[in-house]
Amino acid sequence: MSDWPAITTEEVPWHLRDEDAYLIPKSRRRKITSTYQAAIPAEIRHARPQLSAELTERLADARMRLARFDEHQNSLPFNLPSLLLRSESAASSQIENLTSSARNIALAELSPSAPSNALVIAGNIDAMRCALNLEDALTADGIQQIHRQLLKKTALDFAGKLRDEQVWVGGTPYSPHGALFVPPVPGRVDACLNDLCAFAQTEEVDPIAKAALAHAQFETIHPFLDGNGRTGRTLLHRMLRSDGVLLHATVPISAGLLHDIDDYMSALSSYQQGDPMLIVEQVCDAIDLAMVVGQKTSQTIAELVGDWRARMQERTGSRIFGLPALLVEQPVVNSDYVANELEITRRAATSIINRACEYGILKPLGNMRRGDFYQAPELIAILDEISSMAGIRRLVAGA
């Protein structure tokens, strides 16, 4: 049972331009009427979900396990949160059918000449970092900053701008008629976002449930022309950070949602009809899976970093021992990047890279015309495994 408000709809005029009509097949054109139904998202700033005792207990248990995970990751000698953030960004992009190799995504963070899909997904990493680093309470301006970072590498002129035209989900590209969901008209977006941000400040709702509900409300508003799903999933992490659930670590929640996309989409639809329980349960399920991925990845990376250090024959205190932790954060590097991060000369950085190649830690990226880049293939393989649906399922099955 729940008293969560459902969306309503309004009838909106639809104008089909004569110059566009002849491009549309007759069978489609007959279904395009002079009006369509657009959603009116319910106001939620004062809404409070009625959670079952079982779900309330499950949420409390998830918070406790996340706190333990967060504390452990913060104690590690390498930055696992940065690596898991990459996994989260890749999985979130896969939900939108955007894929690329971990190698190319890492390259895209250093080179604008990386493949286009990799640049888009690297933008997701930038958006996640932006969301996690916002200092003030969640605002519409903050959400626009996140979106701007998401699309910055693609140079789209609507990056960070609230939409000024109608969008819809599913159906045909010709009109909103027959769409699976039609978000609100542009004139309602600003007020809807302010309402969402007001709800995000409440302290009366379990923080995991609140993050799930805010995410679903954001997807209902669909405030941008593109990138709504990826932006909305960054808000899950932003709210868990701001509410103190995860202070240091990042867990790949999108990897959990990717595990069963149909259930995720169904939960969003149920939310819009006034049933918020399914999306809260979906996020709980995703967190459970994300922690399995995070814990197993942490163990694997710790073993790999230990193996790398054992290969190194340099004297104690050599700057090369700073390379493993650097690679966990950025598994594709060049001499300039290593020099800057380790605060050494470019010549010294080149020497370290050459030694790392001799140890089998790094290898040249291949026949690249974008500069001399090097990858950590063993680390890239781990990232590819935790950033794909098949890899995630293998990981969970072996847990």
Say which amino acid occupies 88. Answer: E
Question: Residue 196 and residue 221: Cα distance in Å, rounded?
Answer: 9
Burial class (CB in 10 A: 0-12, 13-18, 19+), 162: middle
Angle CA 289–295–300, to nearest 5: 125
Instruction: Specify if 175 maps to a domain.
Output: yes
Residues 332, 288 share a domain: no
Residues 283, 376 share a domain: no
CATH number at residue 326: 1.10.10.10
Angle CA 354–355–359, to nearest 5: 120
Helix (H) / strand (E) containing 38: strand 35-40
Residues 355, 286 share a domain: no
Residues 196, 128 share a domain: yes
Instruction: Specify if 44 maps to a domain.
Output: yes
Q: What pLDDT sits at residue 381?
A: 93
Residues 126, 73 share a domain: yes
Token pair 């595990």: residue = 259
Instruction: Specify if 27 maps to a domain.
Output: yes
Determine the structural domain holding residue 347 and report its residue range.
Answer: 313-391
Residues 265, 153 share a domain: yes
Q: What pLDDT sits at residue 156?
A: 78
Choose one of 294, 329, 354: the last residue of a domain: 294
Residues 170, 127 share a domain: yes
Instruction: Specify if 304 maps to a domain.
Output: no
Choose one of 267, 294, 321: the last residue of a domain: 294
Mean pLDDT by 10 residues, the chain (399 residues): 84 82 73 92 95 96 94 80 80 84 90 89 91 90 96 86 95 88 97 97 96 97 95 94 91 84 93 96 94 88 93 92 93 95 95 96 75 90 81 71
Please give the distance of CA 21 from its chain centroid, rounded to a whole number.
38
Instruction: Specify if 300 maps to a domain.
Output: no
Structure token digits, residue 388: 């794909």
Helices H, strands E: what count in the chain?
Answer: 18, 5
Task: List alpha helices for 38-97, DSSP H.
Answer: 53-74, 80-95
CA terminus-to-terminus distance, the chain: 34
Total domain count, the chain? 2
Say which amino acid occupies 316. Answer: T
Residue 126 in contact with residue 95, Cβ under 8 Å?
no
Instruction: Specify if 2 maps to a domain.
Output: no
Residues 336, 203 share a domain: no
Question: Residue 109 and residue 17: Cα distance in Å, rounded?
Answer: 42
Choose one of 294, 322, 342: the last residue of a domain: 294
Distances (CA, A) of 287 to 101, 184, 257, 284, 399: 24, 30, 9, 5, 15
Instruction: Specify if 396 maps to a domain.
Output: no
Instruction: Specify if 306 maps to a domain.
Output: no
Residues 232, 379 share a domain: no
Q: What pLDDT sits at residue 398?
A: 67
Residues 351, 282 share a domain: no
Give the phi and the psi of residue 94 in degrees, each rounded to 5. Answer: -65, -30
Model pTM score:
0.90
Question: Residue 297 and residue 246: Cα distance in Å, rounded?
Answer: 18
Please give the distance of CA 139 from its chain centroid, rounded to a whole number.
19
CATH number at residue 184: 1.10.3290.10
Residues 272, 344 share a domain: no
Which DSSP letter does residue 154 get? G
Residues 192, 110 share a domain: yes
Three-class secondary structure of residue 40 per DSSP: strand
| CA R_g for the chain | 23
Residue 394 in contact with residue 382, Cβ under 8 Å?
no
Exposure string over 299-318, b if 16+ CB within 10 A, otherwise e? ebbeebbeebeeebeeeeee
Q: What pLDDT sits at residue 11?
A: 97
